[in-house]
Structure 1
């Protein structure tokens, strides 16, 4: 694996101080192989990390924190390939792929988001054909939309280039990535850009170990000039020094916590497709004590019991900083969408109020109150043992839930906070498998 650049400082700092006729020689000294003339206003303010200065690598892995500029780079890259804009392309690319975690993510982030392709295209804006799931430029260039939820949808297609966003969150990551590789077969040098906040998934580790992959690293702080005033101070105050902060702001790849109940390798092995038939489905809710933005999240996790007696995690609809009626509506909507049998609510902290709020949203929903009599770690241990035995599966990937699980330690915290998603997960699995998820007790014989 190659790394570019040595740091992600802004080009503008040095470049803007030089005369125009001196800027290109300076850039030639910076680049290791080649550099194209800068024709576009964004390239005058972009940071060095947002340029493929190693000669447009065939596989470019861009790791970064939240708000570091990954989406903007991907959008400019695709637009540059389609329109033949240096430094991203020397000719027009006509067959492109856009792959995200879900089709909604492709539309809402990669295409129509604030930094999406349609938004940043200053001239020759492509036409978004939602019904056909594609972007079309005026000269016939086409970018097709794909979701990691359906790797088979990539079968039969072929491309010159692909932008893959948030690959560390993909549902069927390796299957989707592998199917894409078979489709990258047009042109002399098919290209792919992978943008993501790093998580130690099997696919990401595989890419980092590949000597042909060029890696770029960016932090949230690097993009401070384009972020809201006060945002950085707030997140630094809240997350500085934490594992979550290092991952989400620093863009670091954080390995598993040694004393956690779950590991990434274990969670990679339990991913399956959604079963066709489930004997029972429950939605578990771990309500927060308050609705402030800094308070605990409302954990909302759904799971079902398959024909072989295994629990299958179906959804993570957790909300943070939401008013009671909003998270109650979210839980009820998930209950109905999955045609669940029961809605579980933990009543230790305001749970009676939570049950009442849920009934105001839909009085017909069957609500079961559950009360914790042991600590979080003790309640989670038997559930973690079921994972080890292959008796709990995940119907896809749940990135935020997996992050909590892999940092959940004996102190009952995950990333220094209450593990609300894990709490809801434990309640759901315990309800579905009460005989197996209960902690065994040793009785003294007299």
Structure 2
């Protein structure tokens, strides 16, 4: 187990002066989480009976990353080690300081409690970023100077851009390479060889805020304009699947979308999975189908052929599956779907960072961040089935 370096990187040191938000943006493995854990633990020890909010994308992330992770609070704690009370979702120090965990999936849970400090991890991935942040601001009302630390890999969502421009924010940046001494040998070299100089590498390794691609079919402003939190009742729901190309592939992208009473499509979930076996991704598709009480699975079969429906029906023999086969390029298929967004005929019921990143970096070359846009593919199939082909069953083999 590596110990915290004697000399921290300057970006990991708490800013001086009167600040309300410390925004630490950095690459993967740059030491952001360690900086957050150290700041929370040191603050808790210095001020007995401190009240702290720990906010992550999900409650699982709050515990697995911020508390119990390799760089989490309980792993780095020295002196008075805190104890996690799982049933009450809180971390308690011997001196009376306490930290509660919260999820961006439930902004309303921040109503009621009050805090001196907050640590917000991976804000760029939050499900309901603006609503969660707003509720947190009302809860930061204890002490003379309530403060929040935000540790995140940058994504150009409106909230992060607003925080960067706020006069009460101190912005610090850190690169993955700045934490080289605590990373596996060869990791940086491998990442630089594969992603060096790409948009994805600049964002995920160098911690740069990458704005929308100029020739992309979608923009973040447009996606933000059509976002709504609570969709109306839906009349039809599909799970669109871009399955692995071969039986040995380890990822499957699935987008769940429905149709409301006004004829608008509503993107409900990004149900994509990675690191799954063929049976694993097929199970994930069936779980999404059942969770959303969907009417049909729409599965692309260009690569997997008959293996795709066979795999799905090995899990659920009566699963309604429509097979679709692309005969045009990705960009040409996506253009009419992008037009639906421009016409206000699609909404997003929440934030889907990985999907939206692909959308805003998808251009005429048919690539997103230099890679095949698998999530966008699934989105296109879903919205084509729901809106562009309204003749009963989604008969879209020739799209």
Task: Return the TM-score normalized by structure 2.
Answer: 0.93
Asked whether 1:424 is paired with 2:386, we answer no
**Which residue does 2:364 correspond to in 1?**
410
Cα pair 1:242 1:415 within 8 Å, conserved: yes
- 1:250 deviates by 0.7
Q: Aligned runs of 1:22-61 on 2, under 5 Å? A: 42=4, 44-55=6-17, 57-61=19-23
Q: Distance in 2 between matches of 1:321 and 1:99?
A: 26
Cα pair 1:287 1:298 within 8 Å, conserved: yes
Q: Distance in 1 between matches of 2:221 and 2:50?
A: 38
**Which residue does 1:311 correspond to in 2?**
265
Cα pair 1:351 1:369 within 8 Å, conserved: no
Cα pair 2:15 2:22 within 8 Å, conserved: no
- 1:303 deviates by 0.9
1:354 to 295, 308, 311: 308
Name structure 2 gaps, 5 residues minimum: 395-399
Cα pair 1:296 1:420 within 8 Å, conserved: no
Secondary structure of the 1:351 match is coil
Q: Aligned runs of 1:153-302 on 2, under 5 Å? A: 153-275=109-231, 277-290=233-246, 297-302=251-256
**Which residue does 2:397 correspond to in 1?**
none
Change (3 A) 1:45 1:333: farther
Cα pair 1:287 1:351 within 8 Å, conserved: no
- 1:45 deviates by 4.1
Q: Distance in 1 between matches of 2:276 and 2:350?
A: 25
Change (3 A) 1:404 1:296: farther
RMSD value over aligned CA atoms? 2.0
**Which residue does 1:326 correspond to in 2?**
280
Deviation per CA, 1:225-246, whole angstroms, max 9, x where unpaired? 1112222222222111111111
Q: Distance in 2 between matches of 1:323 and 1:315?
A: 21
> Could you say which structure has the larger radius of gyration?
1
User: What count of residue pairs does the alignment treat as equivalent?
Assistant: 390
Asked whether 1:67 is paired with 2:26, we answer no
Secondary structure of the 1:114 match is coil
Deviation per CA, 1:180-209, whole angstroms, max 9, x where unpaired? 111111111111101110111111111111
Secondary structure of the 2:6 match is helix
Deviation per CA, 1:146-191, whole angstroms, max 9, x where unpaired? 1122222212221100001111112221221122111111111111
Q: Distance in 2 between matches of 1:355 and 1:343?
A: 10
- 1:275 deviates by 2.7
Deviation per CA, 1:405-431, whole angstroms, max 9, x where unpaired? 000001111111100000001111111
- 1:288 deviates by 2.6
- 1:131 deviates by 2.0
Task: Return the TM-score normalized by structure 1.
Answer: 0.83
Name whichever of 363-372 and 296-305 sits farther off.
296-305
- 1:55 deviates by 4.1
Q: Distance in 2 between matches of 1:317 and 1:117?
A: 30
Q: Distance in 2 between matches of 1:132 and 1:386?
A: 45
Change (3 A) 1:385 1:420: same
**Which residue does 1:385 correspond to in 2?**
339
Q: Distance in 2 between matches of 1:230 and 1:196?
A: 24
Cα pair 2:236 2:258 within 8 Å, conserved: yes
Deviation per CA, 1:228-271, whole angstroms, max 9, x where unpaired? 22222222221111111110111000011111010011111222
**Which residue does 1:442 correspond to in 2?**
none
Name whichever of 133-142 and 409-418 sits farther off.
133-142
Asked whether 1:374 is paired with 2:336, we answer no
Cα pair 1:382 1:436 within 8 Å, conserved: no
Secondary structure of the 1:280 match is strand
1:150 to 106, 117, 141: 106
**Which residue does 1:82 correspond to in 2?**
44
- 1:42 deviates by 3.3
Q: Aligned runs of 1:327-342 on 2, under 5 Å? A: 327-342=281-296
Secondary structure of the 1:393 match is strand
